[in-house]
Amino acid sequence: MSDAAESGSDSVAASGLSIYVDGSCQDNQNVTAETPAAWAYVVVEGDGGLGRGDGGILTEASGLVVTGEQAADFLGAEVGSNNTAELSALAHALRWLLINEGDSPATIHGDSEYALRIAQRIYRAKANRALAKRVQELWDEVASLRSLTGNHVRAHKGHRWNERADHLAFRCMQGEQPLPLEFWKPGKR
């Protein structure tokens, strides 16, 4: 992954996984291909899904939304926007699931109901259709290999791992390094 920062273990445990995804975009108005936007995901093992911060991080990653068609990591985003950042976060999380083989169930938690519903083919994309199609293809591929569900969580409501994904995406979009987990507190962008 170019423009991506990744840390943690690549092992997938036998129990179910929770993956928290988020995107961030500067200003998110009148967006263009040059508008800074970034994605992030946090893979957690042993999470109860209630936002209390149960479990431990297996890995976390973040990167910029790629809008250049010739770039190696191009997924189909036409512009840098919050929606393309959220969809890119899903795509990279799904790629992680494919690379880190296993058959343990996975739940992807996100604060963008739009992106989760696009991924699961509940909504149809009106823009950035190539990106939406790529996310749908990845979702289908992962779902053919393991139990996969999507879960909407409310943004900025103190949900620890969603807040961590938000921190990673926001910092990447700003061109800054994320705070190490031991120095980071939920709600700190």
Pairing of strands 148-152, 106-110: parallel
Residue 10: the pLDDT is: 35
Residue 91: the pLDDT is: 98
User: If you search the block for the tokens 């980071």, which residue do you land on?
Assistant: 184
Sequence-separated (6 or more) residues with CB below 8 Å from residue 35: 25, 26, 27, 28, 79, 80, 81
Residue 51: the pLDDT is: 62
For residues 119 and 151, what is the distance between their CA atoms, to the nearest angstrom?
12
- Is residue 91 within 8 A of residue 134, CB to CB? The reply is yes
Residue 101: the pLDDT is: 74
Q: Is 177 exposed, middle or buried (0-12, 13-18, 19+ CB in 10 A)?
A: exposed
C-alpha dist (Å) from residue 41 to 31, 108, 109, 168, 183: 23, 9, 10, 8, 18
DSSP state of 183: G
For residues 117 and 100, what is the distance between their CA atoms, to the nearest angstrom?
24
Residue 150: the pLDDT is: 95
Residue 150 has a CB neighbour count (10 Å cut-off) of 19
Residue 54: the pLDDT is: 80
For residues 180 and 144, what is the distance between their CA atoms, to the nearest angstrom?
35
For residues 23 and 86, what is the distance between their CA atoms, to the nearest angstrom?
4
How far is residue 43 CA from its own chain's centroid? 10
* Residues of the chain falling short of pLDDT 70: 1-15, 49-52, 157-158, 187-188
* Structural domains in the chain plus CATH codes: 4-183 (3.30.420.10)
**37-45, strands of its sheet edge to edge:** 4-8, 56-64, 37-45, 17-25, 106-110, 148-152
Q: What is the pTM of this model?
A: 0.88
